[in-house]
Structure 1
Amino acid sequence: MAVCDVCHNKCDISEGKTGACLARKCEDDKVVPENYGMITSIALDPIEKKPLNLFHPGSYVVSVGSYGCNLRCPFCQNHEISYGVPKQLPCRYMAPEELADIAKEYEPQGNIGVAFTYNEPLIGYEYVVDTAKLIHEAGMKTVLVSNGNASVRVCEEVSEHIDAMNIDLKGFTDEYYEKVLRGSRKMVMDFISHAATRCHMEVTTLVIPGFNDSDEEMERISDWIAGLDGGRGAENVALHISRYFPRFHMDKPATDVEVIYHLAEVAGKKLKHVYTGNC
């Protein structure tokens, strides 16, 4: 039995079992990433799809995902790989060296590197670090797209090898994070605060009617982002305000487009770079 210290769940994992993320396993009284190198999804995406609008705009990035997640968002658009049973998912092992070679192979097509995305990359942070080192050795860039629910220890280890991040700040109340998402707002904020001093940072907030769509909440989010990196967040950190569509277990009607545009205006009072998504 061993305790995992990667995220807020702090799972006490019995020998041979996995934690809540379905990807970290106890072997010989140590927690290891069972999903190491197990790739379920790979694509050459525009960098803006991550979304990253201020980091090498117009370029492409090889995007990869594994399986598992440490949250339980009822609206997850990638729930098949985030919450699916690993043995039933189509996936194959891809060594860090192979992924680095693929990234280099697509450089003539405008690829700048590798993005770790789709499921939650940080529950297999060891693979992220191992691969990122090789990507940098090849002279290419690394991107992390994450929910940010990871410890400062993991943040420090990963951010040293990442050039750009887009982190979800899904709301600004503990009640929403804990009761709806089963996550930790404080952990996400600590992660963003620390990483924003070490790499390029952009933030995404998915706006869901009745949960996080008030002017007051967006004012608090944008004010906090503006204060990142010693107050340089207002100029340097982009906020993506994204429109929700019914997915997975949540059947609320889609967010009104005008609400997204209005909240972007609210955020724009504090932040220089505000973008709308899914509109």
Structure 2
Amino acid sequence: MSEFHPTRYWHEIEDGRIQCDVCPRDCKLHEDQRGACFVRMRSGDEIVLTTYGRSSGFCIDPIEKKPLNHFYPGSSVFSFGTAGCNLACKFCQNSDISKTRDMDRLMDRASPQEIAEAAARHGCRSVAFTYNDPVIFLEYAMDVADACHARNIKTVAVSAGYMHDRARRDFYAKIDAANIDLKGFTDDFYFKLAAAHLQPVLDTLLYLKHETDVWLELTTLVVPGQNDSDEELTALSNWVARELGRDVPLHFSAFHPAHKMLDTPPTPPETLVRARQIAMKAGLDYVYLGNVHDKAGDTTFCPKCHAPLIVRDWYEIERHALAQGGFCPGCGAAIPGRFDAKIGNFGRRRIPVAIGRA
């Protein structure tokens, strides 16, 4: 694999610069200049990807850690990321990866075929593009997805959803499931804390739900004093119920002091419980809690008879009563998602995997 890889989404502009067309940042680059993501760079008369085939590490996780609770529950997922990010979240929980400028951190080299082979060898149901946003390494991710699908391995994108339409359509044509961060529900929040805007994320969510077969779940990191008001949580939940549907799972996750918000306190568990109550009142059937120990917030309940169907303790599945095909055995209600005939129980393990070295 060469050091730089050609990319697909850019065009020349009149002043001689080249504009990147992957995301709404629309970075306009001179020779050897990098975009805001740091990994897409102008080289000659094109924009290249500097991290193709290089990863910050590979790990086998429970699928619930992505988090995805309705996508082959209990299965294992082969996870990896690269470096860089096209957002600038002050509260980033993975800033050592997403904001690094040290390419030497990318110690693991692997071709798309090697990743698919490793996932198959370890019995993983899917491969996840995660830890940093796959939007910025989408050419690599798309090639990995092709190699995985050739082996009947599913693909998962964990993303902020900040993309332009053409790149979004090409990328998600190769993705089976996505967890999209809906970081808040005001443009002010996105602008001040992520240097981005809300509407492109909403556009991605609407596209995924209404124009694709990608299984979709959402995550909102609840940051004290920033996006945790009843008003904002209500507006967010009402929009999801109205525009995406009550059957789209929504995860509220606890903030921990990180990156540029080390002085902000952690999210109190009661705040997440309140957020869950607000979302359920708005009509959402599947509302989960993350980064806290909350049995009810981990459990999948039947929306009709309220029976506990998949009981989780953190990432461990303690009991499941889901009938084959994804139905409640009590009332027969269909539970949306992707389910195997038998639910697995990979548990809370996190297994680092070495494929290759730089």
Alignment TM class, shorter chain as reference: over 0.9
What is the aligned partner in structure 1 of residue 276 from structure 2? Answer: 264
C-alpha distance in 2 between matches for 1:17 and 1:272: 47
Distance in 2 (CA, whole Å) between partners of 1:162 and 1:272 is 24
Q: 2:223 aligns with which of 194, 197, 208?
A: 208
Identify the match of residue 184 of structure 2 among 149, 160, 171: 171
Q: Residue in 2 aligned with 1:134?
A: 147
Secondary structure, aligned partner of 1:265: helix
CA offset digits 1:214-260 (Å, max 9, x no partner): 1111111111111345xxx212x100001111111102111111011
Distance, in Å, in 1 between the alignment partners of 2:58 and 2:145 is 16
* 1:69 positional shift: 0.2
CA distance in 1, matches of 2:135, 2:269: 32
Greater shift after overlay, 198-207 or 33-42? 33-42
1:243 to 210, 233, 254: 254
Query: Cα offset for 1:39?
Result: 0.5
Among 73, 76, 100, the residue aligned to 1:57: 73
Aligned to 1:223: 238
Q: With a CA cutoff of 8 Å and minimum separation of 6, indicate the structure with the bigger relative contact order.
A: 2
Distance 2:106 2:156 in 1: 24
Please tell me whether the aligned partners of residues 41 and 118 of structure 1 are also in contact (alpha carbons under 8 angstroms).
no
Determine helix, strand or coil for the equivalent of 1:227.
Answer: helix
The worse-fitting range, judged by mean Cα deviation, of 46-55 and 130-139 is 130-139
C-alpha displacement at 1:92, in angstroms?
2.9
Larger radius of gyration: 2
Instruction: Say whether residues 1:274 and 2:290 are aligned partners.
Output: no
RMSD: 1.1
Residue 41 of structure 1, CA deviation: 2.0
Instruction: Give the alignment of 1:75-224 within 5 angstroms.
Output: 75-107=91-123, 111-197=124-210, 198=212, 199-224=214-239
Question: How far is 1:32 from its partner?
Answer: 1.9
Partner of 1:31: 47
How far does residue 8 in structure 1 lie from its aligned partner after superposition? 1.7
The DSSP-based 3-state class of the residue aligned with 2:125 is strand
Question: Scaled by the length of structure 2, what TM-score is found?
Answer: 0.74
Q: Does the aligned pair in 1 maintain the 2:91–2:193 contact within 8 Å?
A: no
Q: Secondary structure at the match of 1:246?
A: coil
- 1:204 is aligned with what amino acid? T
Match of 2:22 in 1: 6
Give the distance between the partners of 2:220 and 2:27, measured in 1 at CA.
Answer: 27
Give SS of 2:246's match: helix
Q: Distance in 1 between matches of 2:47 and 2:238?
A: 38
Residue identity over aligned pairs, in percent, reads 42
Report the TM-score, using the length of structure 1 for normalisation.
0.94
Q: How many residue pairs end up in the alignment?
A: 272
Counterpart CA distance in 1 for 2:57 and 2:280 is: 35
Runs of 4+ with deviation above 4 angstroms: none
In structure 2, how many angstroms separate the alpha carbons of the residues matched to 1:136 and 1:103?
11
Q: Which moved more, 1:184-193 or 1:86-95?
A: 86-95
5+ long unaligned stretches in structure 1: none
- What is the CA deviation profile of residues 160-208 of structure 1, one whole-angstrom value per residue up to 9, with x for unaligned ones? 1111000000001001101211012111110111112311000000011
Matched with 2:63 is 47
The one-letter amino acid paired with 1:256 is P
Q: Write the deviation string for residues 93-123 of structure 1: whole angstroms up to 9, x where unpaired.
A: 211111111111111xxx1020000011110
Unmatched segments (≥5 aa) in structure 2: 1-16, 293-358
Task: Tell me, yes or no, if the aligned pair for 2:82 and 2:106 is still in contact at 8 Å.
Answer: no
Deviation readout 1:17-72 (Å, 9 max, x if unpaired): 21110110112221222111211121000000000001100001000100000111
**Larger displacement relative to structure 2 (42-51 or 215-224):** 215-224
Give the superposition deviation at 1:91: 2.2
Q: 1:143: Cα distance to partner?
A: 0.3
Q: Any idea what the Cα deviations from partners look like across 1:55-90, whole Å, max 9, x if unmatched?
A: 100001000100000111112121111111133424
How far apart are residue 130 of structure 1 and its match? 1.0
